[in-house]
Structure 1
């Protein structure tokens, strides 16, 4: 599916790297996975299956699926986690070089903002600075809950 060996996003898609929780949701062109970085449990990644480094390079079909998938993912996270806000941010750099685009869809709660004394992008930067990754068991349990919630929502 993906086409860039050595790209973490592609390696996760193709199973060359371990992905706690596995694939949560997918469309013809996009995949939803739990974030492997130091964001909170429930922070998800929405990324194209194809290696794309610029939003401008998305095909019409990829673009058409993106909005509905971000909305569905955000709505499910809202229902499961009751956050203060859902952040949807584009991340696309690795070492200062454009990389495989991915949207972080992150539920944010008051205790996280208070703990770090930050909100918005500064909160995400502060969370990355701690280097504290959620445990794989917590990630797997949340991914299972999210997957089940989405299946019910899809009428499966």
Structure 2
């Protein structure tokens, strides 16, 4: 959503929020200012995206309400990913570029699973790069199943 509250027609993140683009697993959690969805990229089943409902390009542009909710929500989502996926670590990072242009900010909450670390021989940002280079999208049924489990862990069912 733009500052005025309308959907940004060029923004994939907004399209996933408003339903104009397919979202495997559906919305996991929605608060008044944030939405939690499964990642649509190749970062593995259980990787979530936490993004503002409205179209925001810079963290500095978050409203007070959005900023106040962010830290507790990231902790809550990370705890749900930990409980559901049993990872070695949970990575939380901000992404906002698409085609070298800043876009709708989103925080990626990714379980660093032993199998992924071993398969790619990498961790941290190098693991994410290796997963993107491999380009393997998680199975949609696996995504739907993990989304259902995460809804329960988040009390959103």
Q: Same fold (TM over 0.5)?
A: yes
Contact 2:83 2:153 in 1 (8 A): no
1:3 Cα offset (Å): 2.1
Indicate the residue corresponding to 2:137 in structure 1.
133
Distance in 1 (CA, whole Å) between partners of 2:99 and 2:85 is: 32
Distance in 2 (CA, whole Å) between partners of 1:111 and 1:142 is: 17
Distance in 1 (CA, whole Å) between partners of 2:49 and 2:115 is: 22
Distance in 1 (CA, whole Å) between partners of 2:121 and 2:153 is: 32
Aligned residues: 153
Task: Give SS of 1:90's match.
Answer: strand
1:93 aligns with 2:108: no
- CA offset digits 1:16-45 (Å, max 9, x no partner): 101011110121100000000001100000
Q: Unaligned 5+ residue runs, structure 2?
A: none
The 5-angstrom pairing of residues 41-80 of structure 1 reads 41-80=45-84
Indicate the residue corresponding to 2:27 in structure 1.
23
Distance in 2 (CA, whole Å) between partners of 1:23 and 1:111 is: 26
The 5-angstrom pairing of residues 4-15 of structure 1 reads 4-15=8-19
Contact 2:16 2:23 in 1 (8 A): yes
Q: Unaligned 5+ residue runs, structure 1?
A: none
Indicate the residue corresponding to 1:145 in structure 2.
149
- Runs of 4+ deviating beyond 2 Å: none
